[in-house]
Amino acid sequence: MSQPTPQVRAAHLQLLLAELLESAAASGPGAPFVPDPVRWRVQRSHRLAWLPAEDLVAICVAAEAALGRDGLERWGAGVLRRLLRAPLFRAFYEAALWFERREPGVLLSYAVQSWPLLYQDCGGLVVEARGDDFVRLVHQPVPALLRCETTLLPLLGAMAALPRQCGVEARTEADWRPDRERFVYTISW
């Protein structure tokens, strides 16, 4: 039996690409190298289309080359901020902030619920535990394609950016290895 093909929503890849181009332009001359077939497929696809997760990896590799390993988390945070400015998400986010009194744990729990809207066959993401000052998430089964720092660090950056939107500084930790299908992320503030 063959494994399902991991896919990512085109709208998410379009946000990643737009943030990469903007971040790289701010960092200095030279555009990041995203292979033409990937860039064209992402830019020309309908926002709701599913594209291969290999496109996500190619964009993350380009981000690492343009921004450096240390820039991957900042890039992920920028993507989250860009997502929160999008009309549909902005309305949902502002309502959640108002109803939940800027509670990072609740907002992170809500964000986890949007995972299947953006990722298909990329492993499930669930809240394992939540306290007053932390959320622990479990991501499994993580496909082999996504078991690398190049895709992990932007995700951690996005996760840490959400508590920052609530006015608190966040830290992230990841318990992961490339040979395991189960990753655990802890976001604390």
* Peptide linkage before 141 cis (omega within 30 of 0): yes
What's the CATH class of domain 7-188?
alpha beta
Token digits of residue 10: 């085109």
182: DSSP letter: -
Domain ranges of the chain: 7-188
**What was the pLDDT predicted at 110?**
82
DSSP string, 93-152: HHHHHHHHTT-HHHHHHHHHHTHHHHEESS-EEEEEEEETTEEEEEEESPPGGG-SHHHH
Query: Residue 24 is inside which H or E element, if any?
Result: helix 10-27
Residue 165's pLDDT is what? 83
DSSP 70: T
pLDDT of residue 1: 60
Q: Per residue of the chain (189 residues), give pLDDT as tens.
A: 677 899 999 999 999 999 999 888 776 666 678 999 999 999 999 999 999 999 999 999 999 999 999 999 999 999 999 988 877 666 666 766 666 667 889 888 888 988 999 999 999 999 999 999 999 999 999 999 999 999 999 999 999 998 988 889 999 999 999 999 999 999 999
